[in-house]
Amino acid sequence: METQFAEQFKDFLKGEAAPALRQLRENAFASFTRLGFPTPKAEDWKYTDVRPIAKTPWSVFPTAILPDGACASNLDRLKDFSSERNGFTALNMAFAQFLVVVIPKDMSFSEPITLDLEARNGAMFCPHILVIAEAGSKATIVESYASTANSFTNSAIQVVVEDNACVTHYRVQKDAPEAFNVGTTEVSLGRGSRYDSTNINLGSALSRHDIDLKFTAEGGEAFVDGLYMLNGTQHHDTHSIIDHTVPNCISHQTYKGVLNDTSRGVFNGKVFVRENAHGTDAQQSNKNLLLSDTARVDTKPQLEIFNDDVKCSHGATVGQLEEEELFYLLTRGLPETLAKNLLTYGFAEAIIRKVGIESIKADLDAAVLNRLSVKLEV
């Protein structure tokens, strides 16, 4: 794979005119050559085997590079991205299709900023998006994936939320059931800022989403929530790091999983509270609903606290539908299959209702109900 990508990288680099970005790409590809694709021997990839991605000969299209002066002017921000995190992040930076989105100071966008990201058939697609919400600004970002079956999306998004800015971020992954999707989200929060994200994962044969969020000044607030709904042999892995490096910040995280057939889910959430971070309020929860005896979840919420003046909690559950709730619906005359599906829908809906855009919420409702083979008459 390194040899195949090496030849394509030479061709790809011919389209990069900016010397600074060219150097950034070359350094990243050198990191990929050294790191390679992660293996289950690495603790963070213990439950996720990416050999199906690594063994496939993906194409890269050099003509896809578009000149963007904003990239060169925000080079320091792009360099902040942890491209040496693993082979995927290094490969993303090497082949990145850059896009810079700036929300100007004190400006509020009434319409959402929509990013429709779809990989081509037989191709690896590496979108790298830098979102800068300047001080006092407010915006909603919709990051949407709906790629074809034979495709591989390797994405990264950096979100910089400056002082007193507010960003609402929806990430919806509905790739074809045979596609592959690996994504990394890095977020930094300034003083008095707010970041509210909802991550929905429904598609792909194998998907992974890494979230790395850091508070850099007091008074920040973050909500990092998500839903993964899997069937067949689908595999989804969420790894998150929420780092409280400063005092008086709030983070709440709720992830839910619905798994059927022989699907597998992984959730690993780490919350760090540093020595100086007094007044921290950090809550974390992962709840999973297994609809078959062969579905599996590996969940590991973690707290590392180095300060006594904090309010923190975490927990995880893995189970089946509540017998009492099911019995209640059955006694009201509902068929057992419909009763189970309605309870499952209610479990997932708790996350979907967070979505503040009605068209997206309706689309997600339809996708969930279609997965359950249920129709609700209004």
As a whole number of angstroms, the distance between CA 295 and CA 229 comes to 12
Per DSSP, the residues of 86-141 read SHHHHHHHHT-EEEEEEE-TT-B-SS-EEEEE-PPTTBEE-EEEEEEE-TT-EEEE
Please give the pLDDT value at position 65. 46
Domain boundaries, the chain: 2-320, 321-378
Please give the pLDDT value at position 373. 67
Q: What is the DSSP letter of 193?
A: -
Residue 131 near residue 121 (C-beta atoms within 8 A): no
Please give the pLDDT value at position 375. 56
As a whole number of angstroms, the distance between CA 208 and CA 38 comes to 12
- Please state the pTM of the whole predicted model: 0.93
- CB contact set of 23 (below 8 Å; sequence gap of 6+): none
Please give the pLDDT value at position 321. 73
- CB contact set of 5 (below 8 Å; sequence gap of 6+): 29, 32, 60, 91
Q: Which two tokens stand for residue 18?
A: 């900016």
As a whole number of angstroms, the distance between CA 128 and CA 12 comes to 15
119 phi-psi bin (left φ>0, alpha ψ -120 to 50, beta other): beta
Q: Which two tokens stand for residue 305?
A: 């606290």
Amino acid at 21: L
Q: Residue-wise pLDDT tens for the chain (378 aa)?
A: 556 799 999 989 988 888 889 999 999 999 999 999 999 999 999 999 999 999 999 998 654 444 455 677 788 999 999 999 999 999 999 999 999 999 999 999 999 999 999 999 999 999 999 999 999 999 999 999 999 889 999 999 999 999 999 999 999 999 999 999 999 999 999 999 999 999 999 999 999 999 999 999 999 999 999 999 999 999 999 999 999 999 999 999 999 999 999 999 999 999 999 999 999 999 999 999 999 999 999 999 999 999 989 999 989 988 877 777 766 577 877 777 777 777 888 888 889 999 999 988 998 888 888 877 655 554
Residue 101's closest CA among 116, 118, 114?
114
Please give the pLDDT value at position 376. 52
Residue 259 near residue 294 (C-beta atoms within 8 A): no
As a whole number of angstroms, the distance between CA 48 and CA 208 comes to 8
Please give the pLDDT value at position 275. 94
Please give the pLDDT value at position 64. 44
Q: Which two tokens stand for residue 326?
A: 């099911």
Please give the pLDDT value at position 378. 43
As a whole number of angstroms, the distance between CA 285 and CA 254 comes to 5
